[in-house]
Amino acid sequence: MSKKDNTKKQIQKLLSMEEIPETKPAKQPHQKAKKVASELREAVLHASKSSKKDKSDLEKISWGEFLNAIDRDERIGFRFDQEEVTPIENQLSDESLSANALLKIGDEVFGKIQLDGEQNISSKNEKILSSIAQQVSQHIENLRLVEQANQYRAEAEEASRLLTQQGWDEYLQSPDAPEIGYIYDQKRVIATNDLETITNLADADIITQAISVRDEPIGQLTLANIEAQSEQAHSLLATVVDGLSAHIENLRLLDETERGRQQLDKRAAELETVAKVSTAAAAIRDPESLLRSVVDLTNYSFKLYHTSVYLAEKDEEGVEILKLAAASGKIGYKMLEEEHFVKFKEDQSIFSQVTRAHDVYISNDTEDKPVFLARDYLPKTRSEMVVPMIVADQFVGIFDVKSEIPNRFSEDDIRTYTTLAAQTAIALQNAQLYEEQIRTVERLRELDHLKSSFLANMSHELRTPLNSISGFTQVMLEGLDGPLSKEMEEDLGLIGKNADHLLILINEVLDMAKIEAGRLSVTLGPANLYQVLEDVIKTTSTLTRQNDLTISLENNIPEDLIIMADDMRIQQVMINLIGNAMKFTKEGGVFIYSEKDKDLIRIKVVDTGLGIPPELLETIFEAFSQVDTSTTRKVGGTGLGLPISRRFVEMHNGRLWAESSGIEGEGSTFILEIPIVLPEE
């Protein structure tokens, strides 16, 4: 039996579903198609269980596509008159019909069986007709599904063939593609690209067989000088070609897989290098060190000939240039010493093109490029990639890489080096902003120091004449310069009172200026805080009488407890807290509680005043901060009392904070804690 007959038999065996005459092989469905049809049918039935409407829609769409008159010209109706089956040219009239049964799948009707006759059929025959209609419907549906499955299989095979063709085209176009032909003369195998040598063999005694993969020819096997061209020789050649085709395809797929793996490994290594360079760049704050590290790491990691970075700036004449900012190797240092630059608006170089177009440029053979720069510096350059450095649509500079190898850079490298250039540009911008911020902070510190010095000097100069005003006012009030009228005494009293108030304000400004300038400190010594609080109550009691308020002290500090503290500063803090409480209290009074709690002294100042909103409890300790400017304007004050008090307490390693509900009448509570440090400690 010939190979052709054997193949035909196998194909018939694979395609047979049932006993169908051999004269109609095209009608025989494939076993795989049958399986696909079964799976499709099961899917349709499964869908019908969940939703009848979805099933009906699915059947309607499927039959609508199947009966598309553009794609097929099958008859949609047939007549059987017990002798032959003929297509229906015209629809039958309803008057001539004795019965009909619908052909449907699920709820979707796609045809019907009609009986032509004058007599009506019995109910028994109607049931038989209905049963026949159901069987015909199912069989027609199966045939449709099988035909669709065959169509899908053919489309899949065609797609596979096209993919094979595309794969071979790409494979043969790759730089490392194999030779297109080989000659074996029973002694050795000779590779050749000469098509004429391969094809122009002796015309006599030649057997040729096409080498195909999925019906796509990829070559041919030619046997020359064959003495006998028997059917056996042809069959043997066909068998060899079949095995050779499969083996060649497997080798190609293996080769492409290996090349893909190598390419993937290369990309992974490049991305890892980009990540390392980006991480190193992000950690450096000095722009010069940053760019130097980037070019050195890039040049070493990617095994390049030279790497450099040019930044856009203007020269002394205002001309826009690209100035070399960093370069690798000894040649790079030499170019930096010579301050190498490019006038990109005047030159017709690669740099100029990239600067204007903001697009990557690749030159895989610089010997053919007259616009190649730095040929004298870098004579071994054979390929180059120039990448623009852009941050937020703003051109920053050029990232330039060179190689000694021709065709070193490809389109696949663009993404890698573009990412690297973008990361470098962002890191450079951050470093420049950080450097600028450092300069700004230093300048602000300098201005703040000058401000503090100015306030300290001005406060001193203002306090001197105020002391004179207060002193002479007191002399006149005591009558040392002669008798005074009642009106004169009242005026002088107001002058003295306002002078004292102004002196207090100036002292606060002076203290705050000294604190910020670092020239004010506390002097620790043995101090009795119990006695300090008693003295504070005596000092502030006159203020409470003037404002019709009450003041009370619950002093639970041991009378003989002596700690290391600056009693003058603590007294100043308490007077500030009590005076501040009285300013914002209209009715009620101020209550002071003190106690010794383990290793610290805790003092609370509680009032029944306006209260402080909870969100402003920390704001009041900022310099010149006011809770309510209108209220503060009425009662007076600079807003420095609380900040100064907190700084004095912190100088004792203590804490000062406020608590309040913000409800008027419930007032506020200021809490002061100072650690106990005994003199012997």
For residue 501, give the CATH number of its domain. 1.10.287
- Tallying the residues shown for the chain, one arrives at 681
Q: Is residue 443 assigned to a domain?
A: yes
Specify the pLDDT at position 24: 37
Q: Where are the alpha helices (DSSP H) in 517-553?
A: 529-546
Specify whether the CB–CB gap between 603 and 593 falls below 8 A.
yes
Question: Is residue 529 located within the same domain as residue 622?
Answer: yes
Asked if residue 246 and residue 300 are part of one domain, the reply reads no
How far apart CA 357 and CA 398 sit, in angstroms, is 12
Using the 3D structure, point to which of 474, 499, 520 is the last residue of a domain.
520
Q: Residue 438 falls within a domain, yes or no?
A: yes
CATH number of the structural domain spanning residue 649:
3.30.565.10
- Residue 348: inside a domain: yes
Asked if residue 5 is part of any domain, the answer here is no
Contact 397, 322 (CB under 8 A): yes
Question: Is residue 327 classed as helix, strand or coil in its secondary structure?
Answer: strand
Asked whether residue 161 is assigned to any structural domain, the reply reads no
Q: What range defines the domain where residue 204 resides?
A: 174-257
Structure tokens at 658: 């406020």
Can you spell out the DSSP letters for 175-239? TTPPPSEEEE-SS-EEEE--HHHHH---SSSEEEEEEEETTEEEEEEEEES-S---HHHHHHHHH
Same domain, yes or no: 531 and 658: yes
- Per DSSP, the three-state class of 572 is helix
| Structural domain contains residue 169 | no
* Residue recorded with tokens 């990109």: 344
**488 and 425 in one domain?**
yes
Domain co-membership, 511 together with 525 = no
The four Cα atoms 557, 561, 566, 567 give a dihedral, to 10 degrees, of 60
CA–CA gap between residue 530 and residue 558 (Å, rounded): 7
CATH code (residue 396): 3.30.450.40
Same domain, 316 and 382: yes
**What is the rounded CA–CA span in Å between residue 599 and residue 559?**
16
Please work out, in degrees rounded to the nearest 5, the angle formed at the alpha carbon of residue 348 by the alpha carbons of 342 and 349.
60
Q: What residues of the chain score a pLDDT lower than 70?
A: 1-75, 89-98, 117-119, 161-163, 165-166, 169-180, 193-205, 225-229, 281, 344-348, 367-376, 456, 459-460, 513, 516-519, 624-638
Same domain, 503 and 442: yes
pLDDT at 594: 94
In terms of Cα–Cα distance, which of 557, 625, 560, 545 is closest to 597?
A: 557
Q: Pick the closest to residue 398 from 428, 368, 433 (CA basis).
A: 428
Q: Number of structural domains, the chain?
A: 5
147 Cβ contact partners less than 8 Å away, ≥ 6 residues apart: 29, 66
Collapsed DSSP state (helix, strand, coil) of residue 98: strand
180 with 96, same domain: the answer is no
Q: What is the pLDDT of residues 332-387, one digit of tens each?
A: 888 888 888 887 665 667 787 888 888 898 888 776 654 445 556 788 888 899 99
Same domain? 399 vs 418: no
| Residue 466 and residue 503 in contact, taking contact as beta carbons nearer than 8 Å | yes
Token pair, residue 208, equals 């040729």
Q: Which of 453, 487, 520 is a domain's end point?
A: 520
Domain presence at residue 164: no
315 and 237 in a single domain? The answer is no
Which domain-ending residue is among 410, 436, 466?
A: 410
Query: Roughly what angle, to the nearest 10 degrees, separates helices 31-50 and 52-66?
Result: 140
**What does the alpha-carbon distance between residue 640 and residue 504 come to, in Å, rounded to a whole number?**
11
350-353, Cβ contacts within 8 angstroms, sequence gap of 24 or more? 350/384, 350/386, 351/310, 351/322, 351/386, 351/398, 351/400
User: Shortest CA distance to 674 belongs to which of 597, 582, 612, 608?
Assistant: 597
Non-local (6+) Cβ contacts of 513 within 8 A are 451, 452, 453, 455, 456, 459
Residue 253 placed within a domain: yes
Residues 382 and 525 in one domain: no
Residues 333 and 435 in one domain: no
